[in-house]
Structure 1
């Protein structure tokens, strides 16, 4: 019961609030919607962590795509070579 209440509290904290902040917190652009203030606020560590994990995913995808395309000349089987576009 206590664990579920804690999880619910965390999920409710992630939801945007009905009242908008008048100014953007440090780290957020002035034209940014208040919906995204939790992600870019430098005083809140988890938003920076989420962005770091997302960036790591993009970089990893790019590196794995380069590795797949670079290994293409070494593939001998024509059937496997024709599947590279689908794999990318």
Structure 2
């Protein structure tokens, strides 16, 4: 079901990832943050229980940290293969 905001534009569906409302869905006008424009904002699901609000932000931070570390490891691995290929090329040229 698509809702319109106060200014008759289609409301945009988003998900909050703040510590206070992790995973909570809402709809908002695309002009919400512009001064003097539409201020339509509405949550579309009930708030999570207190325990979920305590656990989810920590889990999200952990996942983000692990994804960052994985990206760094992949970069290190790529550079290692570049060095190995360069060494093999130099050895081949010496033969």
Structure with greater strand share of residues: 2
Structure with greater helix share of residues: 1
Greater relative contact order structure (CA < 8 Å, 6+ sep):
2
